[in-house]
Structure 1
Amino acid sequence: MTANRPEWQRYQLEVAATLSQLGFTTEVEEKVTGVRGEHDIDVTARVTSAGITQVWVVECKKWKRAVPKERILTFYAIVTDVGADRGLVFAENGFQAGAVRAARNTNLTLTSLVDFSQNTADELATIKVRGLQERITVLENKFRSIWDLTPEERDKRIAQYIGPSGFLDLPAGHSTATSHLLACLSQMKEALNFASFNRWPVFYWALDDEYPISVNSWPGLLCITEETVATCERIYDQMVFPQGQLKDWRELQSQEMTELLTKIRQPKDE
């Protein structure tokens, strides 16, 4: 039982639980191999968004005194050796002035459970936004590169396009059929940018909606954006490597996304 564990071990578990609530996959007391050897890490935290994995290593100091500079320098060497994206030191009784100075201009964060919970949600959203924007840019370039193909190859790709064609009801295979999808990708980037500047609500266009959806928080925006980007990636893959006789792009959309959009579109008085 947790209550029977030493106080320092309970603190590790509490830190791991906090990270898990923020969407990380955590492991307590993991052995991590670095360039110079193996290290015992109090908590290892990993989060993947838009195909990019962030690895954070964590040291937990349930001490009755402030953490000194020497401990921070030792931990920074470990963070560097294992190639972690970030190192965090949790301590509820603070850090000595030298420790704070040692952590400046590094990828270390000195924090406590309360401070971390309050300050990290927006930072994680920033990481996810960066990954999504990169995926959207890659996808836009892929669709645009179709026009660099020979006429024969280009016509073949366009003929295999089953994605949304916009609200002019263009037939599949029409030369401008992908324009609506590219417009949606551009609108997604714009929505992410507005949210990054805290300009809520932001407006999001689903692939088959003529009217935008109003979104008021990061969790909702990141969820629908990531699902939509994944659908667009499948539409492109279907153009290049067609699988089966699909007739409607909605077959490439996840069931979770379909259910979410149905719920959003449901009239409030029903």
Structure 2
Amino acid sequence: MPPKPAWAEYQDDVAKIFSGLGFRVRTNERIQGARGGHDIDVTARMKVAGVEQLWLIECKRWTRSVPKERVLTLLGVVADIGADRGFMFSESGYQAGAFRVAANMNVTLTSLEDFRVNAASELVDLQIRALDSKLERLARAYESLWDLSEEERRAAFSNYVGPPDIAGRPSCASVTARISQMREALESARYGKWPVYYYALDHDDRGLITVLALDGLLPIIELTLDTCQKIHDHMLNPDPSVENWRDLQAPELTELLALIRRGQ
């Protein structure tokens, strides 16, 4: 069997990095977009916070730097497919215009060594973005309750079983406040502003929780988000057996918060 060409070896090297991070990877995959099919050097998929992520990776095993036109092409493919991120790998660098095109876009220009160094932070950013996206959608779902007819809205609010507001009244404003606070905590974590303060659904009774690292923050936010989602769903489709939000909270979150509070 003849040896693989250098460009194929390069694709394999890139794919191995993403596979090592836990992604499901494929090389030379053809994906249909809105305007046509696209041949992608490497695709990387991972489910984070219940959301499937798709990253598209182009590998340029060239002897010259990559021009901006190639980056513009990748940006167009990412948009046409609806992928979450795009990456371009090159060991020969990029022209200045390429970096200007990629700035503030969802495409990263990198190399094997640079990505190995920054891989952990890329994965953290993925986890935070996925959770924040779910929180944003849930916040909009609560806001959309006001778009219901008066009769439907009155019925939904009467089914609210979440924590009370600061005045002790039953109000979903308490939940939306927690959603906002969780998004702020994720934003602080993204920029390494530790410690981060977490507001549990019962924080008025039990006080704030101080979180010192991401591996402690992400699980409690994901589980709290799930509880907030169930509270919202109960408002629209009530379960007679549910009396308050604690009936909807996962036991592992209750146990985790109790453990953290004992430690603090």
Same structural fold, with TM-score higher than 0.5 when normalized by the shorter chain:
yes
**Which whole-Å CA distance do the structure 2 matches of 1:147 and 1:25 have between them?**
41
Structure 1 residues 34-80: Cα deviation after superposition (integer angstroms, max 9, x where no partner): 356433322112456677655321122456x3454399369536546
Q: 1:21 to 1:219 in 2, by over 3 A?
A: farther
What code does the residue aligned with 2:18 have?
Answer: L
Q: Secondary structure at the match of 2:101?
A: coil
Match of 1:69 in 2: 67
Deviation of 1:241 (Å): 0.6
**Which whole-Å CA distance do the structure 2 matches of 1:186 and 1:36 have between them?**
37
Q: 1:212 to 1:17 in 2, by over 3 A?
A: farther
Gaps spanning 5+ residues in structure 1: where? Answer: none
Match of 2:197 in 1: 203
Structure 1 residues 187-234: Cα deviation after superposition (integer angstroms, max 9, x where no partner): 323323444554311110111342111122344333322321221111
**Which whole-Å CA distance do the structure 2 matches of 1:180 and 1:70 have between them?**
48
Deviation of 1:136 (Å): 4.7
Q: Where in structure 2 are the equivalents of 1:94-133 lying within 5 Å?
A: 94-95=92-93, 97=95, 100-102=96-98, 104-106=100-102, 107=105, 108-117=107-116, 118=118, 120-121=122-123, 123-124=125-126, 127-128=129-130, 130-133=132-135
- Whether the 8 Å CA contact 1:162–1:249 is kept in 2: the answer is yes
**Which whole-Å CA distance do the structure 2 matches of 1:188 and 1:87 have between them?**
27
> RMSD of the alignment, in Å?
4.0
Q: Secondary structure at the match of 1:105?
A: helix
**Which whole-Å CA distance do the structure 2 matches of 1:229 and 1:265 have between them?**
19
Q: Where in structure 2 are the equivalents of 1:1-270 lying within 5 Å?
A: 9=8, 11-20=10-19, 24-35=23-34, 37-46=36-45, 54-62=53-61, 65-69=63-67, 72=70, 76=74, 78-79=77-78, 82-91=81-90, 93-95=91-93, 97=95, 100-102=96-98, 104-106=100-102, 107=105, 108-117=107-116, 118=118, 120-121=122-123, 123-124=125-126, 127-128=129-130, 130-142=132-144, 145=146, 149-150=150-151, 154=154, 156-165=155-164, 176-196=170-190, 198-209=192-203, 210-267=206-263
- Whether the 8 Å CA contact 1:23–1:47 is kept in 2: the answer is yes
Q: 1:32 to 1:23 in 2, by over 3 A?
A: same
- Whether the 8 Å CA contact 1:204–1:212 is kept in 2: the answer is yes
Q: 1:35 to 1:259 in 2, by over 3 A?
A: same
**Which whole-Å CA distance do the structure 2 matches of 1:116 and 1:87 have between them?**
13
Deviation of 1:10 (Å): 5.4
- Whether the 8 Å CA contact 1:55–1:85 is kept in 2: the answer is yes
**Which whole-Å CA distance do the structure 2 matches of 1:7 and 1:42 have between them?**
13
- Whether the 8 Å CA contact 1:27–1:44 is kept in 2: the answer is yes
What code does the residue aligned with 1:15 have?
Answer: V
- Whether the 8 Å CA contact 1:52–1:131 is kept in 2: the answer is no
Gaps spanning 5+ residues in structure 2: where? Answer: none
Structure 1 residues 4-60: Cα deviation after superposition (integer angstroms, max 9, x where no partner): 977655543443343355564433332212356433322112456677655321122
Identity level (%): 38
Which stretch shifts more, 245-254 or 202-211? Answer: 245-254
- Tell me which stretches of 4 or more aligned residues in structure 1 moved more than 6 Å: 4-7
**Which whole-Å CA distance do the structure 2 matches of 1:104 and 1:221 have between them?**
34
TM-score norm. by structure 1 comes to: 0.70
Q: Secondary structure at the match of 1:88?
A: strand
- Whether the 8 Å CA contact 2:88–2:110 is kept in 1: the answer is yes
Which stretch shifts more, 218-227 or 230-239? Answer: 218-227
- Whether the 8 Å CA contact 2:15–2:25 is kept in 1: the answer is yes
